[in-house]
Amino acid sequence: MSEVDKTNSEYNREFLKELRRRTKTPLSDLTFIFYLVFGVVLFSGFGVFVEIVKYWFSGSPLDVQGLQGVRAALAVFYPALIGAASLQLTLEAVKNSKTLMAVFAISSLLIMLIAAAVLGIQEFRQEGPKHIFSLSFILSLFGLWIWTVANADNPDLKTKPKPEDAVGGSVTRKLPGSTTGFTE
């Protein structure tokens, strides 16, 4: 079936299949998981962890009002994560002419911007600290998922080398390229 003959539902099925693949496949690769946990969660979220430790040792770890630093750290973590991953996903989708993936990435970016504005206003007004904390945490998890989708095909985060790499592939395979024009 040609690209012209496809219906919207077929495009939607392909898009959802691609999202599932980009979600599941990298989470079985140890290098990807290592980078996600250490590079993205620990190093990018370092400010969140500092605020959690500060909150825990503050003397009243069950006081919700003491979570203001943690809420502030989460409020700057998820916009940066979602924003960077969405832009990366948009650039890749545009390069590969994947319209639905570009729409998904831009929609994620818009959701993040709207959520950041609304939660920022609520934080400024000191309204519903539990609500703000919960939504910021959920948006941070959403950001980690968007980052996973955006980086699922990143060859630098894969354990297996590419078949054409010097260290990868079968030694008996036919090598790409040609030796035409070379003389001994």
The per-residue pLDDT for 74 is: 87
The per-residue pLDDT for 163 is: 63
pLDDT digits (tens, 9 = 90+) for 34-47: 999 999 999 999 99
Full-model pTM: 0.75
Contact residues for 23 (Cβ-Cβ < 8 A; gap 6+): 145, 148, 149, 152
The per-residue pLDDT for 144 is: 93
- Residues 73-91 as b/e (b if ≥16 CB within 10 A, e otherwise) read bbbebbbebbbbbbebbbe
Rounded-to-integer distance, Cα 141 and Cα 74, Å: 11
Rounded-to-integer distance, Cα 116 and Cα 166, Å: 46
The per-residue pLDDT for 135 is: 86
Mean pLDDT for 135-159 is 90
Q: Is the model's pLDDT at 64 over the cut of 80?
A: no
Rounded-to-integer distance, Cα 107 and Cα 9, Å: 19
For the chain, give the mean pLDDT.
84
Higher-confidence position of 164 and 66: 66
Mean pLDDT for 156-168 is 70
pLDDT digits (tens, 9 = 90+) for 71-122: 888 888 888 888 888 888 888 888 888 888 888 888 888 988 888 888 888 8
Cβ atoms of residues 132 and 116 within 8 Å: no
Q: Is the model's pLDDT at 26 over the cut of 70?
A: yes
